[in-house]
Amino acid sequence: MINVEVAAMTPKDIEGVLIVENLSFTIPWSRQAFDDELTKNEFSRYVIAKVNGNIVGYGGMWKVCDEGHITNIAVHPEFRGTGVGSKILEKLIRIAKEECILRMTLEVRRTNIAAQGLYAKYGFQNSGFRKSYYSDNGEDALIMWRDKI
């Protein structure tokens, strides 16, 4: 079992987060997007996962009234399947509990079986699709919810 530390993301982490981001998504977020999330969006909550001092993953959500909307979770390809994504999601759920969030939700690509498995492991259930949600390939989004946070 590798030792994973999860902590709040700060602007100085963006450099490392971008490496994971660019290796993980076809339409990666920009440096500016992360900076805005950390410095301008009072409803955002972002965390990083570190192994041996290096950033290997991150995740985030928005607090929308009593709901937590997960925006993204990504793990460096070399560290996938080792429990890092689980640690990140556990931390987001812990933050949600501390902030009296009652339900959490997210959208995930219909074909993204790994991410759906991660969310299902933590009690998220399928609740429908958004047709052609992703602009790069027109893929549907699966909407998942977890009640009773």
Ligand X SMILES: CC(C)(COP(=O)(O)OP(=O)(O)OC[C@H]1O[C@@H](n2cnc3c(N)ncnc32)[C@H](O)[C@@H]1OP(=O)(O)O)[C@@H](O)C(=O)NCCC(=O)NCCS
- Cβ-based nearer residue to ligand X, 41 or 86: 86
- Cβ-based nearer residue to ligand X, 11 or 81: 81
The whole-angstrom separation of Cα 104 and Cα 107 is 11
The whole-angstrom separation of Cα 50 and Cα 54 is 5
- Cβ-based nearer residue to ligand X, 39 or 126: 126
Q: Hunting for tokens 């660019």 — which residue is that?
A: 22
Is residue 58 within 8 Å of residue 73, measured between CB atoms? yes
Instruction: Tell whether residue 128 is a contact of ligand X (CB under 6 A).
Output: no
Handedness of CA 84, 87, 93, 95 (dihedral sign): negative
Helix (H/G/I), strand (E/B), else coil: 65: coil
How does DSSP assign 74-95, residue by residue?
Answer: EE-GGGTTTTHHHHHHHHHHHH
- Measured from the CB of residue 109, what is the shortest distance to ligand X in angstroms? 7
- Measured from the CB of residue 26, what is the shortest distance to ligand X in angstroms? 10
Instruction: Tell whether residue 86 is a contact of ligand X (CB under 6 A).
Output: yes
Q: Which residues pair with 145 in a beta bridge?
A: 105, 125
Instruction: Tell whether residue 112 is a contact of ligand X (CB under 6 A).
Output: yes
Is residue 119 part of the annotated active site? The answer reads: yes
Instruction: Tell whether residue 81 is a contact of ligand X (CB under 6 A).
Output: yes
Q: Point out the catalytic residue in the list 67, 90, 107, 139.
A: 107
Instruction: Tell whether residue 75 is a contact of ligand X (CB under 6 A).
Output: yes
Q: Which residues bind ligand X (CB under 6 A)?
A: 24, 72-75, 80-86, 108, 112-115, 117-118, 121
Active site residues: 107, 119
